Amino acid sequence: MSKLSKRVQSMREGIDARAAYSVEDAIALIKERSKVKFDETVEVAMNLGVDPRHADQMVRGVCSLPNGSGRSVRVAVFAKGDKAQEAQAAGADVVGADDLAERIQAGQIDFDRVIATPDMMPLVGRLGKVLGPRGLMPNPKVGTVTPDVTRAIKDAKGGAVEFRVEKAGIVHGGIGKVSFTADQLAENLRAFVDAVVKAKPTGAKGTYVKKISLSSTMGPGVKLDLASVMGTPV
């Protein structure tokens, strides 16, 4: 095993890997140990008691963070006519139809979220092999296929975070920046966890939320006390 660098040792100092910390203590530890020269993202990882290989155990949804994500989100919108004009007025970074599809097929993907009006889905559907692996495929379940493009753009730029369970049963997402106040991070964390809990699939059996940990981009993970986050674990 390679030896840990002094920087990593310093960040891990004072963190008991076997302990479960309250939300407030975990956030304080993460903020104290952020030693890098950029504003790190604070990330939550939830280990769920699901097997996403089964359709009735898939966990997917969107959470609107009350204090925003701290990220600058570039939004592309598939729309025509009046809806295209509405999207531009709402602040979309890229708006188009066939021209946008050609741009994506050419590998010019310089945006973080894709929104589409329902009539555009036959066109967008042909881009599934490109957008799907990148997590950019519009989906009505998370509000990115909608006639209300103004609201969708506002949500995307205002802190709406999509989540989807991975093969190992883990859901993760960014809940803000280290520069946020402790209260802002705590409020965003609880909003994210609550959204994942509400997205509990019908096929989930036994304990749904097994473990929750918090970390910064370059920092160590801190295990959370489930009762501190959720009240009553599920």
CA distances from 202 to 54, 189, 226 (A): 11, 24, 22
> In angstroms, rounded to a whole number, what is the distance separating the alpha carbons of residues 129 and 105?
10
What is the residue range of 39's domain?
17-69+160-230
Tell me the CATH number at 123.
Answer: 3.40.50.790
Q: Quick one: which of 179, 228, 171 has its CA closest to 198?
A: 171
Task: Answer whether residue 65 shows pLDDT above 70.
Answer: yes
Tell me the CATH number at 23.
Answer: 3.30.190.20
- How confident is the model over 121-170, as pLDDT tens digits? 999 999 999 999 888 999 998 889 999 999 999 988 888 888 999 989 99
Residue 160 has what pLDDT? 85
Task: Answer whether residue 1 shows pLDDT above 50.
Answer: no
> Which residues, 6+ apart, have CB-to-CB distance to 165 below 8 Å?
48, 50, 52, 58, 59, 60, 171
- Look at residue 223 and give its three-state secondary structure: strand
- How confident is the model over 101-117, as pLDDT tens digits? 999 999 999 999 999 99
Residue 105 has what pLDDT? 94
Averaged pLDDT score across all residues of the chain = 90
As a whole number, mean pLDDT of residues 83-96 equals 96
Residue 123 has what pLDDT? 96
Residue 159 has what pLDDT? 80
> In angstroms, rounded to a whole number, what is the distance separating the alpha carbons of residues 222 and 231?
18
Task: Answer whether residue 16 shows pLDDT above 80.
Answer: no
Is residue 8 situated within a structural domain?
no
Of 151, 179, 213, the residue that ends a domain is: 151
Q: Quick one: which of 219, 185, 186, 195 has its CA closest to 59?
A: 195
> In angstroms, rounded to a whole number, what is the distance separating the alpha carbons of residues 11 and 187?
24
Residue 10 has what pLDDT? 52
Whether residue 124 sits in one domain with residue 62: no
- pLDDT above 70: percentage of residues in the chain: 94
Whether residue 224 sits in one domain with residue 180: yes
As a whole number, mean pLDDT of residues 41-61 equals 93
pTM over 0.75: yes
> In angstroms, rounded to a whole number, what is the distance separating the alpha carbons of residues 154 and 91?
8
Whether residue 137 sits in one domain with residue 22: no
- How confident is the model over 190-218, as pLDDT tens digits? 999 999 999 999 998 899 999 999 999 88
Confidence of residue 187 (pLDDT cuts 50, 70, 90): very high
Number of domains the chain is built from: 2
> In angstroms, rounded to a whole number, what is the distance separating the alpha carbons of residues 84 and 80?
5
Task: Answer whether residue 4 shows pLDDT above 50.
Answer: no
